[in-house]
Chains A and B, each alone.
Chain A
Amino acid sequence: MSATDLQNHPAARALAQRHRLRVWEGLPWLLALACYFAFPRYLGFGTEILITVLFAISLDLALGYAGIVTLGHAAFFGAGAYTVGMLAKNGIWTEPITGLLLGAAVAGLIGFLSGLVLLRTAGLTLLMLTLCFMGLLEESANMGADFTGGFDGLDSLPIKPIVGMFEFDVLYSKTQYLYVLAVLFVCFVFTRTLVYSPFGHSLTGIRENTLRMHAVGAPVERRLVICYTISAAIAGIAGALWAQANAYVNLSTLGLDRAATVLIILVLGGYGRLYGAFVGAFVYMMLEHFLSKLYPEAWQLGLGLLLVVIALFARGGILGIGEELRRRFRGWRNKP
């Protein structure tokens, strides 16, 4: 077999083309922009969805790609949110875009330091330790009420207009929506590039077979810590956005509720797939929002049923169902 044969081998071609942009990848962005014009009265809710997508992407990087099982990802969301909140409330730093960077830096630093210790464990131990670490942060925020506002949180944050021109819109959240969408786009491009890079492939390798990665000489622990740090920083950006968009931060940013919900969202959409975060957040939050409007007392039933069905019949989440259908369709077409 010559070199050209190898290059033309279908498997080699598939590998080489994995990272190429596909036409449908523009779709979520076009839809998000269309929603801005089509549903101007839903943008507050839309902003919440976009922030959750970004948060889910950060979790996908750690959980879906590197296989770091964590139930404490809200620790970094909260770190970003409180960084913005505490700086703004005390009048130290109120510029939004650099505020995001500060939030990312603080969350990344906490991710790095905690990762150095926690990532020496794996599986259930890691799950419990990440949960405990988040609990510690939450309780510190509760007890440091003089700085963090405690249970009531920090209200009426004075966030400056974006690039000095666009005021945050309290009633319709128009500015917030576009701002969050832009930040989400930048972070997504970064994450997409990262997971298709050699570094990203080595993460998948670690997830699939840690022993073999050790055997080929990959610096497994170091890669995991780097991945965890990046993931924490992105979660920090999501948290910082939340604090800016709501002009408000409280203990819920650090809570188990948020950490568990984003995990459910990612599993629902399909983890390790990049776009699972979009699909999961959209489906979960839309259902929650409209069911709770229709049935303020019983909406959790509908959501619970959906999750049970997904858990029983579609382990790859909603995107997994799509892939399965495509595979079956091809198999049926290729039958002699």
Chain B
Amino acid sequence: MIKRMLAATAALAITTAFAQAQEVKIGLVAPFTGIGAELGQQIDRGVQQFLKLNAGKIAPYKLTIIKRDDKNPSGADSKVAVQELLTQENVDALAGWIYSPNAIASAPVVSAGKKLAVIMNAGTAFITNLSPYYVRTSFSMWHAGFALGEAAAKQLKAKTAVVGYSDFPPGKDSLAAFKRAFEANGGQVIDEIPMGGPAQVPDFTPFFQRVKDKKPDLFFVFVPAGDHALAVVKTYGALGMKAAGIKLIGPGDITQDIKLQAMGDAAIGLITMHHYNADLDNPVNKALVASWKKDYGADATPDFVAIGAYDGMAAILHAVQATKGKMDPDAALAALKGWKYDSPRGPIAIDPETRDIIMNEYLVEVVKGADGKLHQKVLGKIDAVKDACKAQKIGPCAPK
């Protein structure tokens, strides 16, 4: 409540400064309770930080955020929330979606409602095919997975790898993306291990022991960011796999910034491919991280979920400016197709064909800094990476 009031006052302050501000209403759908609440909070903060740091650019418009809790990945709650935002609140744009099933279930409503809808997290590759009004500012699992497959063979010079993944679509997507790229570049995946589901953190020891016995050069892991990732790194350390010469790699979900410090020294040397980490050295990111720590405490940090929300708001603001606040959906979409922006993650663009994001991918190693904390050091980057699944029209990503 207090936060709502603060947000309202902030919005009011901006309004009063420009007496004739034109209001644009944005419905924000994300889980604010339950197991996804931490992710919902990152979305919320990403949005608030964008509004705060870009207050000057937003004027003379006023962006009003209407939050709805979509609670769980059932699809139904999210769909009702989207319905009501469109029919009761008459929002000009929709945004949010942490869970892919919710974005999938909402797609028909978004199409019927004919409003710009910005996906700020949900990563299943084919979602943007489901509605012409979807624009994605987060990522697809193929962005990092495919890029890491190439890098593993070329830069890390690995010959063999074992893949361990959480047994749900992002995990399977990651496996498919990594394997395709790794094997196309001369590597070989010698074992694929499903490691439980996303709902509970399993005991990873038996899976990891199996990997240790196979002695691959690399162990590629995809698990959901959060407590899964924490357990993976701890198990990796406890089994002495680093000493056995097996490198742990994965998309940046396993080194999510808000969990990194809790992982301890076992995380040192971990190699990931991702589009964002809080240590990225560019002025936009520096300003964001500083403001974030000021507002939410020295230990708080933005992560890739927050960046999806931050850039999502940037996309909406661009659409607002391009349509002079009218938010006509076709004009807004036309303005966003090919839109370029300087994000905290570096330069990004929206692919005019797929409405999905194009961004840099960074090959990153976890190191211990002089301050005794863990940091992420960029080893190399790949410019302007597209979603490989849609670019190569693989499986369900092929347009219907």
Contact = CB atoms under 8 A, between A and B. Distances in A.
B101 A170 contact: no
Interface in B104-137: 104-105, 107-109, 111-113, 124, 130
Contact of A153 (B80, B101, B167, B197): B101
Contacts of A171: 83, 86-87, 109, 112-113
Contacts, number: 107
A324 interface: no
A269 B178 CA distance: 51
B169 A296 contact: no
Nearest to A153: B101
B1 A295 contact: yes
Contacts of A292: 33, 68-69, 71
A47 to B, nearest CB: 9
B197 A142 contact: yes
A248 interface: yes
Given A48-B80, A296-B69, A155 B37 contact: no
Given A155-B107, A247-B108, A252-B72, A300 B33 contact: yes
B54 interface: no
Contact of B68 (A145, A153, A296): A296
B197 A250 contact: no
Interface string A45-61: 10010000000000000
A252 B76 contact: yes
Nearest to A45: B80
Given A142-B168, A247-B108, A42 B113 contact: no
A297 B109 contact: no
Interface residues of A, number: 36
Contacts of B73: 151, 250, 252
A257 B199 CA distance: 12
B275 to A, nearest CB: 22
Interface in B173-207: 197-198
B75 A297 contact: no
B236 interface: no
A41 interface: yes
Interface in A256-299: 257-258, 292-293, 295-299
A242 interface: yes
B87 A297 contact: no
A242 B80 CA distance: 13
Given A156-B107, A156-B108, A296-B68, A42 B169 contact: no
Nearest to B37: A297
B32 A44 contact: no
B87 A257 contact: no
A172 B3 CA distance: 31
B32 A296 contact: yes
Which of A45, A258, A292 is the most central at the interface, judged by chain B CB atoms within 10 Å of its CB?
A292
Contacts of B112: 170-171
A251 B124 CA distance: 16
B88 interface: yes
Interface in B71-102: 71-76, 79-80, 83-84, 86-88, 100-101
A156 B108 CA distance: 7
Nearest to B167: A142
B259 interface: no
Contacts of A145: 169, 172
Which of B108, B169, B172, B197 is the most central at the interface, judged by chain A CB atoms within 10 Å of its CB?
B108
A152 B72 contact: no
B18 to A, nearest CB: 28
A42 B68 CA distance: 15
Contacts of A258: 74
A45 B74 CA distance: 14
Contacts of A255: 74
Contact of B88 (A41, A246, A247, A296): A41
Contacts of A45: 80, 83-84
A299 B33 contact: yes
A44 B130 contact: no
Contacts of A155: 104-105, 107, 130
Contacts of A150: 168-169, 172
A252 B84 contact: no
Nearest to B127: A152
B169 A151 contact: yes
B340 to A, nearest CB: 31
A251 B74 CA distance: 7
A173 interface: yes
A44 B80 contact: yes
B124 A152 contact: yes
B44 to A, nearest CB: 9
Contacts of B72: 252, 257
A129 B90 CA distance: 47
A41 B84 CA distance: 7
Interface in A126-149: 142-143, 145
A248 B360 CA distance: 35
A248 B83 contact: no
Nearest to B126: A152
A173 B107 contact: no
Given A44-B83, A296-B68, A299-B69, A250 B109 contact: no
A298 B41 CA distance: 12
Contacts of A151: 73, 100-101, 168-169, 198
B377 interface: no
A258 B198 CA distance: 18
Contacts of B87: 41, 171-172
A292 B29 CA distance: 12
A250 B101 contact: yes
Given A153-B105, A170-B108, A296-B68, 18 more contacts: A41-B84, A44-B79, A44-B83, A142-B168, A142-B197, A151-B168, A151-B198, A152-B104, A153-B101, A155-B104, A155-B130, A170-B112, A171-B83, A173-B83, A248-B79, A250-B74, A252-B101, A297-B32
Which 6 interchain pairs have the tightest Cβ spacing? A252-B74, A151-B168, A170-B112, A296-B69, A44-B83, A296-B32
Interface of A: 41-42, 44-45, 48, 142-143, 145, 150-153, 155-156, 170-173, 242, 246-248, 250-252, 255, 257-258, 292-293, 295-300
19 contacts: A44-B83, A48-B76, A150-B172, A152-B101, A170-B111, A171-B83, A171-B112, A248-B104, A250-B104, A251-B101, A252-B74, A292-B68, A293-B68, A296-B67, A296-B68, A296-B69, A297-B32, A297-B37, A298-B1
